Structure formats: structure tokens, C-alpha cells
Amino acid sequence: MKIQIFIALLVVLITQTTNGLKEEDCEVCVKTVRRFAETLSDVTKKDHKKIEEEFKKFCKTQKNKEQRFCYYLGGLEDSATGILNELSKPLSWSMPAEKVCEKLKKMDAQICDLRYEKQIDLSAVDLKKLKVRDLKKILSDWDETCDGCLEKSDFIKRIEELKPKYVRNEL
């Protein structure tokens, strides 16, 4: 009887450890939590209230998916909810980013729905084959605009003008 209980517990333990969240399952969360944790000093890492303060400062500089992640956790002033303690307490215990995100996913599943868009290799892509939406996104990612652009060719011309500033050809 004791052996059966032991085996059952062992099976449960093995399945729990192998079914852990992987980085690609929750990529924005894992990468953002890692990047944020790397900014914390050793003193700050031990105090979950200080971690929350630092996260709010960190969130002010974030854009795109990372900013949306901050919004979901309550790191922005206009956040509707606040589950920052679900981030700060595990970080103060030195919990790995994957485990933190696993806990956050249980609180709010949309946290792991955030995905990065595929990056376009501008040194190899034919801009004429891209959609206008993709061309606009390239400019947006660069924090650039295309005033007076109406045609696809206008956007392509603007990207070609800015390419030397943003794209480095690696030989």
C-alpha cells in the first residue's frame, strides 16, 4: 500500500515538472520578466514592495507587447487591474521567469497570449513583396512616419531612405 502511494506521488511529481511552462509558450512574459529581473539590485530583489516600485518605473519605458504585459499586471497608471504581487513576491524568492509566468498565467490567461511578431530581415527581403501594413509596421518600429505617403511605392521609398540608419549589413 505504501509503495503504491509512493509511486503515485512520484508520477504526479514527474508530470508536474515535465509539464512546466516553456519560454515559447509565453514568450513576452518570460523575456520581459527576465529583462526586468536583470535590472534589479541585490537589495531590491529581496523586498517585493521595492520590486513593484521598480516594475512601475520599468513599465514607463516599455512599448508594444511589453507595454501590454505591464498593463495586464498593473504596472501602468491606466491599468484596470493589479496583480503585481504575483510578480514581485516570486521574484523576491528568486523564482525563475518561467515559473513566475506560469503563476501569472493562472491569474490571467491573456498574459501568455501575447506573442512577438516575426521580425522581417530588411537586408534580405524584397520590400515590393510586402503588404502596406508590413511597411507601416517597419516605420512604426523605427518610430518614424511617412508624411504624405499614399501609395505602396511611397512607403518603400521612405524605408529605403531610412534603411542606412536602422539596418546594419553584417558581412
Average model confidence (pLDDT) for the chain? 86
Query: What is the rounded CA–CA span in Å between residue 8 and residue 14?
Result: 10
Specify whether the CB–CB gap between 127 and 160 falls below 8 A.
yes
pLDDT tens-place string over residues 51-100: 999 999 999 999 889 999 999 999 999 988 789 999 999 999 999 999 99
Shared-domain flag, residues 106 and 47: yes
DSSP letter (8 states) at residue 170: -
Q: What is the extent of the structural domain holding 96?
A: 21-113
Shared-domain flag, residues 158 and 105: no
Q: Is 12 contained in some domain?
A: no
Per-residue pLDDT, averaged over 127-154, amounts to 91
Specify the range with the lowest mean pLDDT, choosing from 13-22, 61-70, 89-98, 162-171. 13-22
Per-residue pLDDT, averaged over 6-29, amounts to 66
Residue 17 has pLDDT above 60, yes or no: no
Among 119, 116, 125, CA closest to 156: 125
- Tell me the CATH number at 61: 1.10.225.10
Q: Is the pTM here over 0.75, yes or no?
A: no
Q: Is 9 contained in some domain?
A: no
Shared-domain flag, residues 80 and 134: no
Phi, psi (degrees; rounded to nearest 5) at 119: -80, 140
| CA distance readout (Å), 8 to 1, 12, 14, 17, 19 | 11, 6, 10, 14, 17
Shared-domain flag, residues 108 and 39: yes
Shared-domain flag, residues 49 and 93: yes
